Amino acid sequence: MISFNARQVGADAPPYIIAEACINHGGDIIVAKEMVHAAAAADADAIKFQFHVLDDEMLRNTPQSDNFEIPLYDALEQTNLSIEEHLEIKVLCKSLDIDYMCTPFSRASADVLLREIGIDVFKVGSGELTNLPFQRHMAKSGVPMIVSTGMSEVEEIDETVDLLRSFDTSFALMHCVSIYPCPYERVNLQRIPAMIERYQVPVGLSCHTPSIYTAFGAVALGARIIEKHLSLDRSLPGPDHSSSIEPDELAEMVKGCRAIFAANGAERTIFPEEKQIVAWARESVVSVVDIPAGAVIAPDMIGVKRPSPGEGVLAAREFDLVIGRRALVDIVADRQILKAEIE
């Protein structure tokens, strides 16, 4: 179990749903606020942004992946919201009862989040999983951490987990495949129960498929955090829109994830509401012809029909036990047979 933002996240708690704003706001505070409203209306638990201190984070000649149309440094510089804008967003989140979250990408940005903006949890991107100096810097703060694991080998995850445990840091892990958008056949949802078993911490899914389906499968497999990119309009240009969902899809995902969590019990019992159905849905052994007293009951003399057997009535599952037994009384056709009426 991990606690942050006055929430408990773990096996026995409903899935914590994060709408990832990423840079889909394009650096426009108005759009960013619209995204907060959309995420809150969809009943997400949190909306997550990013904060970059670029010169502490990367060299200017850092290459970009195919989903970026301009150099990475330039794209992030153009879309980076200021500290003041993050504070505005945080105030808005509080007014709408949705948690504000933010991902840092360097020690400097982590310090800004801690000291100037204020956060209750670090959401750490997959790219920083192997940045052990950065992981150590965050772990020392004592703030809980949610760490994504895209692009990583199991041994690399092990190394980061060992580091976090050495600081007694409360953390959760996110299964992730860093492809934008990610084909279904590469999502590998079975990694979720494997990670739960291996690390014994809450595990979630950071999902980049262009739909909500994999989130449902993840919750059924034990994921208790779902992070999904949000876009107000998926057709807009930008590196993350194509791997995002729109507000109406987010709302459906939230409802579906919570419904699947509620439905995911393992108890085998007959519930009180089922018992009234038993009265008409099950069958009894019945006579299909007149059976005189003393007759040996043959298969063609009996059948099974509704309603359910009451007190002393032979149940359908006792059909084979009746064959070859002798009738003690006359049994007229088309009625339930009592146990006391046969030898």
282 in the same domain as 172: no
DSSP category for residue 131: -
112 in the same domain as 252: yes
In the chain, the number of structural domains is 2
Of 235, 262, 289, the residue at which a domain comes to its end is 262
215 in the same domain as 112: yes
Whether residue 204 lies inside any domain: the answer is yes
Question: Cα separation of 135 and 79, whole Å?
Answer: 25
Q: Enumerate the H helices of 238-294 as residue ranges.
A: 247-262, 272-281
Report if pTM > 0.75: yes
64 in the same domain as 111: yes
- Report whether pLDDT(157) > 90: yes
Whether residue 4 lies inside any domain: the answer is no
Q: Is 302 left (phi over 0), alpha (psi -120 to 50) or beta?
A: beta
Q: pLDDT for 160-218, tens place per residue?
A: 999 999 998 999 999 999 998 999 999 999 999 999 999 999 999 999 998 999 999 99
Give the CATH number for residue 288.
3.90.1210.10
In total, the chain counts a number of residues equal to 343
161 in the same domain as 245: yes
CB atoms within 10 A of CB 69: 11
Question: Cα separation of 120 and 46, whole Å?
Answer: 12
What band does 317 get if pLDDT is binned at 50, 70 and 90? very high
Nearest CA among 301, 319, 298, 299 for reference residue 309: 319
Residue 82 tokens read as 């200021």
Of 220, 238, 262, the residue at which a domain comes to its end is 262
304 in the same domain as 214: no
Question: 229, 246 in Cβ contact below 8 A?
Answer: no
Surface-to-core class of residue 107, CB atoms within 10 Å of its CB (0-12 exposed, 13-18 middle, 19+ buried): middle
Q: pLDDT for 32-52, tens place per residue?
A: 999 999 999 999 999 999 999
Whether residue 123 lies inside any domain: the answer is yes
317 in the same domain as 199: no
Nearest CA among 228, 249, 123, 237 for reference residue 182: 228
The domain of 134 spans 11-262
Give the CATH number for residue 136.
3.20.20.70
Of 239, 262, 285, the residue at which a domain comes to its end is 262
DSSP for 16-56, please give it: EEEEE-TTTTTT-HHHHHHHHHHHHHTT-SEEEEEE--HHH
Q: pLDDT for 77-88, tens place per residue?
A: 888 999 999 999
Question: Cα separation of 305 and 46, whole Å?
Answer: 55
- Report whether pLDDT(114) > 90: yes
Whether residue 2 lies inside any domain: the answer is no
193 in the same domain as 62: yes
Whether residue 6 lies inside any domain: the answer is no
157 in the same domain as 214: yes
326 in the same domain as 220: no
Question: Cα separation of 303 and 287, whole Å?
Answer: 6
Question: Cα separation of 51 and 109, whole Å?
Answer: 6
Whether residue 32 lies inside any domain: the answer is yes
192 in the same domain as 324: no
Q: pLDDT for 229-264, tens place per residue?
A: 999 998 887 777 888 999 999 999 999 999 999 999
